[in-house]
Structure 1
């Protein structure tokens, strides 16, 4: 048998043998691989647009600027920089001695005002008596003038007697008018009546209000924390002089939230109340649960000092950013501390898809969105 015949026999034997397992595996991969890729691509297609995300987000907190409400020299600083404080804790104290002197001075003025108004009651009674006397005198002089005129018409008295009688009436009438004005003045000071209670008189109420103001200023000598928070950067030292309204230190609130600046094109399906996840750059891998609490009524550029004037000059369209406020669920923070100003990444689950199937099956109708209060 020739070698050529042997080769043909071997080839025939190999063709008659079954397909190796390796070739069958390759065929399965060629079929299953594209199918898996198609399923994954279909999943992403069906759920496309459900999540809106941005990395332009930061942790925010309310900040209170602690300022003096009365002028004075600082005698005690009870806190230091970066110290946590509770509402009502003493922050610093202004020298209370000048304010205490002002309170004592007003208390003395109240006593003096009481004495003066009580003396006005006596003045009122005296003016009433003087007015009665002057009115009686005027009536007497008027009767005398009438008699003198009758006698003068008969030629029984001289002209000088008539002139003296007229002068006496004029003088008595002036005295009566003066006493009447004094009585009206006393009545006004006593609120219209001599028996008006002291605490209802306007003059007494004025000095009482001044005393209340002096006591309020004295209470402001001790400056206390208005909220729970942490003291920021400060340089206040005992001996510093503070004017009214002068900033002393910042106080950052413990109430934190995240402000995400989303592109306007990413807010199509974002609604107040939707769930979100937040990841802070400081703590990679840890996610905080959050909720959309409000959406700004305008873009960030609208609140700038110089808003863009798009109706003038050459115009280039720029996608605007809309601030979205998210409240953070800190019940599962694993002991991690958030601080205002930290960078974060936000992802909002809108529950809606941009695909055709998603538009048919989305269960959240489009509703007008308004900015909500905090």
Structure 2
């Protein structure tokens, strides 16, 4: 009797334990399948890479004129503002050139004023010579008539003809003087000096000399930081010779090299999140600014030649440029820093993924 009672007592809790095991066997796989489905439907929305770096405009500062450096006002790693003086080139030869061309411009001005006065005088002489010639011609006609009637000697007729020829020569000489003065004035005797080609040339040369003098002071074109430089006083710089690098600080961006297989749903304007290795725990908001038209290999100095028999398919990397959004109090970023990028494409992986929080891939994240 006692044995039967113990058997019944042991069998009683066995039934609930069996039901609990059955629930675990059902709920466990269901939970795994649910998590797997969630990851499948929503996993294609975000794409990321750690092959990304902070980039900035790098400007090579070069002089626009040649000369000897007489002063260097910046040092390596020094922040500068746009318009700040970086170094100065010897100005004395340029100042001499400006003075010489100013004197040349004054000389041209005097020459043109003299030509204008000469033109007026030549015109007056021409009118006088024209009148003398007309009078001589009339006198010759009268003497010729008198000679036909035998009232004067042949000598008088010859003298009258000689007078006509002389006055005609004087008239032609004065006409040539008028033409010469008119040519000096560019064919426009009444025009001002500023409109004449010779004066324009002199003033253009003077303006170029003054511009060269202003270029003796080399200034920063943008806000930035001076890079590695060893420019010293006394060095001679030629036109366009690199003097020092300047890294701009106002235009920073991130260049991320994504696998080509990750760019299926990436488009310009989508939002992104960026983490910089230098600042753990800090994140920057960004947006896709542009996508390169070709892979990085296409821009290499020696592009890959795939038309050989030893070809091996390799997933290519496509550079994507991400514009950083302004963030107050954010740490300082420097060109070359390593970054990790994650882009929210908002893409659907299956037709029913909207039940799990997916969005229409045709609508960019930035527009929602």
Q: Tell me how far apart the structure 2 counterparts of residues 20 and 334 of structure 1 sit (CA, whole Å).
A: 62
Q: Tell me how far apart the structure 2 counterparts of residues 309 and 174 of structure 1 sit (CA, whole Å).
A: 85
2:321 match: 325
Residues 235 and 171 from structure 1, CA distance in 2 versus in 1: closer, same or farther, beyond 3 angstroms? Answer: farther
Match of 2:197 among 191, 195, 202: 202
- The alignment status of 1:294 with 2:290, answered yes or no, reads yes
- The alignment status of 1:74 with 2:69, answered yes or no, reads yes
**Runs of at least 5 residues in structure 2 that lack an aligned partner in the other structure:** none
1:267 match: 263
Q: Tell me how far apart the structure 2 counterparts of residues 62 and 351 of structure 1 sit (CA, whole Å).
A: 31
Deviation at 1:163, TM superposition (A): 6.7
Q: Which segment is superposed worse, 274-283 or 352-361?
A: 352-361
Q: Tell me how far apart the structure 2 counterparts of residues 257 and 67 of structure 1 sit (CA, whole Å).
A: 25
SS in structure 1 at match of 2:114: helix
Residues 364 and 12 from structure 1, CA distance in 2 versus in 1: closer, same or farther, beyond 3 angstroms? Answer: closer
Q: Tell me how far apart the structure 1 counterparts of residues 225 and 246 of structure 2 sit (CA, whole Å).
A: 6
Q: What is the TM-score with the length of structure 1 in the denominator?
A: 0.82
Deviation at 1:211, TM superposition (A): 2.4
Given that 1:290 and 1:326 are in contact with CA atoms closer than 8 Å, whether structure 2 keeps it comes out as yes
Given that 2:53 and 2:254 are in contact with CA atoms closer than 8 Å, whether structure 1 keeps it comes out as yes
Deviation at 1:316, TM superposition (A): 5.4
- Structure 1 residues 1-374: aligned runs within 5 Å: 12=7, 15-19=10-14, 29-147=24-142, 157-158=153-154, 169-190=164-185, 192=187, 194-254=189-249, 255-305=251-301, 313-314=308-309, 317-331=313-327, 334-335=330-331, 337-358=332-353, 362-365=359-362
Residues 316 and 178 from structure 1, CA distance in 2 versus in 1: closer, same or farther, beyond 3 angstroms? Answer: farther
Q: What is the TM-score with the length of structure 2 in the denominator?
A: 0.83
Deviations 1:302-355 (A, max 9, x none): 444565666x555655443322110113515643x2211222221100011223
Q: Tell me how far apart the structure 2 counterparts of residues 20 and 83 of structure 1 sit (CA, whole Å).
A: 80
Deviation at 1:31, TM superposition (A): 4.2
Given that 1:127 and 1:179 are in contact with CA atoms closer than 8 Å, whether structure 2 keeps it comes out as yes
Deviations 1:136-193 (A, max 9, x none): 33324434554565567678755x8767765654454343233212213323434555
Residues 82 and 144 from structure 1, CA distance in 2 versus in 1: closer, same or farther, beyond 3 angstroms? Answer: same
Q: CA RMSD in A?
A: 3.4
- Give the count of matched residue pairs: 359
Q: Which segment is superposed worse, 58-67 or 93-102?
A: 93-102
Deviation at 1:64, TM superposition (A): 1.2
Q: Tell me how far apart the structure 2 counterparts of residues 165 and 363 of structure 1 sit (CA, whole Å).
A: 111
Q: Tell me how far apart the structure 2 counterparts of residues 157 and 357 of structure 1 sit (CA, whole Å).
A: 132
Q: Which segment is superposed worse, 203-212 or 242-251?
A: 203-212
Q: Tell me how far apart the structure 2 counterparts of residues 173 and 322 of structure 1 sit (CA, whole Å).
A: 87
Q: Tell me how far apart the structure 2 counterparts of residues 157 and 299 of structure 1 sit (CA, whole Å).
A: 108
